A and B are shown apart, each in its own frame.
Chain A
């Protein structure tokens, strides 16, 4: 078919009714402090991985809560589990354990 150069953009909107919340639920159930994040970004500010890569824990946690799981596995792999984020969190979110639980959940649900 002749290509006229027209494309269809994917919908950028998050359809929350259809969101895949399995990873979020798994993490929430195994590390309840997942819920108390206020998205201040302290974790990301102190993150060694975040200083050299696109790794952004604050954003990753929101994406998981919204069921936006496309890049999670590659992003989470950048974490070295140093735990600085956990020390810095003003709310006591166990961010290091959250990373571990996200990995576990990904292995269980094989979401990629």
Chain B
């Protein structure tokens, strides 16, 4: 009997790690990646919370897996059609190549929130308002952190929950990783510019991870990062290019305004363009927040509404890297169980 085939869509962490495990288990795995390299968003991240290890290390780990397991990787894959006929899936690329498989793993990930939608914070209008993703690219470039005038900032503000927990932009969910990312980036800014004052404007700090709370305490204790509880109503530009922020200091119970030289918006995760596209092609169910809808939020998180299609990673919900690794390995097991027709496959539950 010939090897069963699996197509994995999306070459980020989830797609790479699930491909690696399934290929190692003896399946014929084809990994389709839309860009020219594997690694997804991780390629743009210098250091990772909470350990500050390099994102590059994790990419290397993933690459090594792809290489050892001999996954068939197709880069620059522009999918124009994907459908199921009988028990076989066909995926067609814009160059005419067609791939067939017995199962599909959708690992189409997330996009970062477009901060221009939160117009009152002035992203795209004021030069000294940037996003957390852009700050990370500055870190990665190794260049000094400068304002638009080319000066080292004396005061830097971080705005939490931009594009998350906000009905006004249509995203009511928490993006999970931004709180601790702000803490991480605050520490990095303080390390690069020791006499800078850093202010985090937050609603509440969701330090859910095992070592997140100690990172937060480290930011307060060692780096004297200031945390001001309150959500910005608006940011505006002063004549010298610095940014005036308005917020209620909810712990003092009074409105507060202050100037910062650089304002960093902690952009959340939104369903990716690829998630929407592939979901529509395959007829996958979406949840209320626009991410894919799992068959059951506790017991069937990797299972889609179409037998043979599985979800991995942030296409289902915002997740930190460690959770995506767990998810990728879990989806490998679920896919194998489906392909082998194990008895346990009968216990599908539905919400």
Contact = CB atoms under 8 A, between A and B. Distances in A.
Interface string A85-105: 000000100000000000000
A32 B224 CA distance: 9
B251 A59 contact: yes
Interface residues of B, number: 16
Contacts of A32: 221
Please indicate which of the listed interface residues A13, A15, A16, A58 has the most CB atoms of chain B within 10 Å of its own CB: A16
A70 interface: no
B256 A39 contact: no
B217 A14 contact: no
A17 interface: yes
A28 interface: yes
Contact of A39 (B221, B229, B255, B258): B229
Contacts of A59: 251-252
Given A39-B229, A39-B251, A59-B251, A15 B257 contact: yes
Interface string B231-264: 0000000000000000001011011111100000
A68 B252 CA distance: 9
A68 B253 CA distance: 12
B256 A62 contact: no
A66 interface: yes
Contacts of A16: 256-258
A59 B256 CA distance: 15
B258 A35 contact: no
Chain B, interface SS category: strand
B257 A14 contact: yes
Given A36-B217, A91-B217, A66 B252 contact: yes
A64 B255 CA distance: 16
30 contacts: A12-B254, A12-B255, A13-B254, A13-B255, A13-B256, A13-B257, A14-B254, A14-B256, A15-B256, A15-B257, A16-B257, A17-B257, A17-B259, A32-B221, A33-B221, A35-B220, A35-B221, A35-B224, A36-B217, A36-B220, A36-B221, A38-B227, A58-B251, A59-B252, A62-B249, A62-B251, A62-B252, A65-B226, A66-B252, A91-B217
Interface of B: 217, 220-221, 224, 226-227, 229, 249, 251-252, 254-259
